[in-house]
Amino acid sequence: MSDLTPIARRLRADPTEAEKRLWSRLRAGQLNGLVFRRQEPIGPYVVDLVCTRAQLVVEVDGGQHADSPSDVERDAYLRDRGYRVLRIWNNDVMSNTDGVLQRIAEVAAEQ
């Protein structure tokens, strides 16, 4: 068990509205059969959503993440381990869920 597991569990229990909405459409392989896990520890980070088959991390971000140096470092760490990182804004999830899902599907299909 990772040292981050308790943090990941707490984050799973208290998702943002955008995370809830997106998860309700991604869970159980609903998007092209892609299996996502939420609030998953990867190294020293807990990522919002990850599809290991597509090596895709999806981060659902609020305004506090705009131009965040720590996010640049985190993304570099994940890319160095073979993951592609897709950052989605909370307001995009809430106002254009179908468009967000289409973008996730497109990025997941890229090899």
d(CA 93, CA 52): 22
Task: Check pLDDT > 90 for residue 66.
Answer: no
Distances in Å between the Cα of 8 and the Cα atoms of 11, 29, 39, 47 are: 5, 21, 5, 9
- The whole-number pLDDT of residue 38 equals 96
* CB 35 within 8 Å of CB 29: yes
Average pLDDT over residues 19-36: 95
Average pLDDT over residues 62-79: 81
d(CA 5, CA 31): 26
Q: Does domain 5-109 have CATH number 3.40.50.720?
A: no
Pick 95 or 7 by higher pLDDT.
Answer: 95
Task: Check pLDDT > 90 for residue 74.
Answer: yes
- pTM over 0.85? The answer is yes
Q: Which long-range contacts (CB under 8 A, 24 or more apart) does 95-100 make?
A: 97/21, 97/22, 97/25, 100/22
Task: Check pLDDT > 60 for residue 58.
Answer: yes
